[in-house]
Structure formats: C-alpha cells, structure tokens
Structure 1
Amino acid sequence: MSDAVRSWMEKYIAAWTSNDPEDIRALFTEEAVYATRPHDADAWRGREQIVAGWLEAQDDPGNWTFDWTLLGADSVLGTDGGLAFVQGFTDYLGDNPSYDNLWVIRLEPDGRASEFTEWFMERKA
C-alpha cells in the first residue's frame, strides 16, 4: 500500500473524528475541490469552503466506524502526486444507515489532496 495514501487516510480519519478546522485544512491544498458526488455542481472549492462544508455536515465523534482498502494508485504516487482509489465502508451506529464508499483522491507531492470525489451508496440491511 502506498505510504502517501495510508498517511493521508490516517489524517482524514483523525480530522473526521476531531472535526478540528486545522486538521481538515491540513488535508487539502489551497485550491482543492471536494465533491460529495461525481460531477457535483455544488462541490466545495478551496480549503476554507471545504472546512466550512465539512463542519456544517460533520458527524459526531464516536457515532461511526470506517474501514477502508486501497484499490489502486498511480505508480508515481508520493513522488509527483497522483490518483488513489479507496473503497470504504461507513457504519453509523444506532438506527442510522451504513454506506459503501468509493473515493477518488488526487494527492500532490506534499501529501495534501487537490481533488477529492466520493461516491456513497446506502447499504441495505
């Protein structure tokens, strides 16, 4: 597994847990785009809009679990940046739905994401 992807994912999960603006900011480049679905006309654009959107839609810490697997990454990832493809499973506790996830992440050489697109599908019981 790519060390760059593992490191970014660990930081993402830490930010998801903390909802701390500085943790969120550290994940993304200044001009990053965060799309909550493919071809998202309302994608969050720029680091500050990503932080604001994240905090508005934040999940409560301890209300979810997340497991993930790296499906693939550019061979140059970590050197010149590149794309990573992550499959995840988000399990919200209580009577909340669970989701299968697919994330496409463009990482830059400094380890931050310049693009993030997610697909999420509710898992039927």
Structure 2
Amino acid sequence: MSDAVRSWMEKYIAAWTTNEPEDIRALFTEDAVYATRPNDRDPWTGREQIVDRWLAARDEPDEWTFEWKQLGTDGDLAFVQGFTHYLGDRPSYDNLWIIRLAPDGRATEFTEWFMERKF
C-alpha cells in the first residue's frame, strides 16, 4: 500500500470524524474538485466550496463506521474500496473512490461512487 494513500485516507477519516474545517482543508489543494458521483454535473470546486458542502452534508462521528482497502495506484491516481456502515435505520454503502494526489499529498481530484448495500 502506498504510504501517501494511507496517510491521505487516515487524514480523510480524521476529518470525517471531527468535521473541523481545517482538517477538511488540509486534504485538498486550493483548486481541487470533489465529485460525489462520476460525471457529476455540480462537483464541489475549490477547497472552500469543498469545506462548505462537506459541512452542509456532514455525518456525525457516532453515526457511522468505515472500512477500506487500497485497490491500486496508477501514477498519481489511487483507487480505494470502502464500506460505510451507518448506524440506526440509515442504509449502508459500498464505496469506490478515485483520488488524484498532488506531490505534496493533498488531493487535486476526488470522485466517489456509492451503492446502497442490500443486506
């Protein structure tokens, strides 16, 4: 597993847990694009919009658990498979993330696929 991907994922999970704007900002370059689905017509564009939209849609830390593994890399692209289990009556999701990392370890692009898991 790439150390850069592991480090980024650890920081992502920490930001997801804290919902602190500085933790979220630290993940992304100034001009990053965060797509909540492939071919997103309205991606979150720029670090500040990413922070704002993340916080508007935030999950509280006691509402979920997350497991992940790195599927591979191709140059600056990382492929991550995850499983988000929401507690209570909320559905849980299988995830596929594609993350483009800058040399400094921050993401320039993030695209997620999420599919509701039927138990």
TM over 0.5: yes
2:106 matched to 1:112? yes
2:54 is paired with a residue whose SS is helix
Distance 1:40 1:115 in 2: 12
Question: Displacement, 1:45?
Answer: 0.2
Q: CA deviation at 1:62?
A: 1.2
Quote the residue 1:89 is aligned against: 83
Partner of 1:45: 45
In structure 1, distance between residues paired with 2:93 and 2:44:
21
Amino acid at match of 2:86: Y
Distance in 1, Cα, partners of 2:69 & 2:60: 23
CA RMSD of aligned residues (A): 0.6
* Matched residue count: 119
2-side partners of 1:114 and 1:91: how far apart?
A: 27
CA–CA distance in 1 between the matches of 2:30 and 2:60?
A: 26
Is residue 2 from structure 1 mapped to residue 5 from structure 2 by the alignment?
Answer: no
- Letter paired with 1:19: N
State whether structure 2 residue 9 is matched by structure 1 residue 12: no
Mapped to 2, the partners of 1:118 and 1:69 lie a distance apart of 14
Task: Return the TM-score normalized by structure 2.
Answer: 0.98
1: distance between equivalents of 2:86 and 2:71?
23
Kindly, what percent of the aligned residue pairs are identical? 78
User: Which consecutive unaligned segments of at least 5 residues does structure 1 have?
Assistant: 77-81
Moved over 6 A (4+): none
Determine the C-alpha separation between the residues in 1 that align with 2:37 and 2:116. Answer: 14
Segments of 5+ residues of structure 2 without an aligned counterpart are none
Q: Which residue number in structure 1 is paired with residue 65 of structure 2? A: 65
